[in-house]
Amino acid sequence: MQEIAWVARNVLGIVLILGGLVLMFPGVPGPGVVVILLGLTITDIPGKHELLVALVRKRFVMKSMNKVRRRFRRPDLATP
């Protein structure tokens, strides 16, 4: 049963990453970077933590993440 959950979580993560890439095209509305980060967070890939930290350190990514957090009345994140 754990194998099915592992596969389902990774498939969902890959779908979110691909969906986030589509959202980054000009003319397609949506927070593409945030969706990509969400997809990366739930997948089990080697080097995931280092990749997430490198992405989050970019100013436009942090700005986008904090914009979503403010929408739900959450405090801003600090840059790692």
Q: Chain-centre distance of CA 60, in angstroms?
A: 13
pLDDT at 9: 94
pLDDT at 49: 87
The most distant pair of C-alpha atoms in the chain lies apart, rounded to whole Å, by 41
CB 64 within 8 A of CB 37: no
pTM of the model: 0.68
Closest CA to 67 of 32, 41, 43, 40: 32
What ranges do the domains of the chain cover?
2-71
Q: Is the pLDDT of residue 80 over 80?
A: no
pLDDT in tens, 18-73: 999 998 888 888 888 888 888 988 998 888 889 888 888 988 888 888 988 899 99
CB 64 within 8 A of CB 33: yes
**CB atoms < 10 A from the CB of 41, how many?**
12
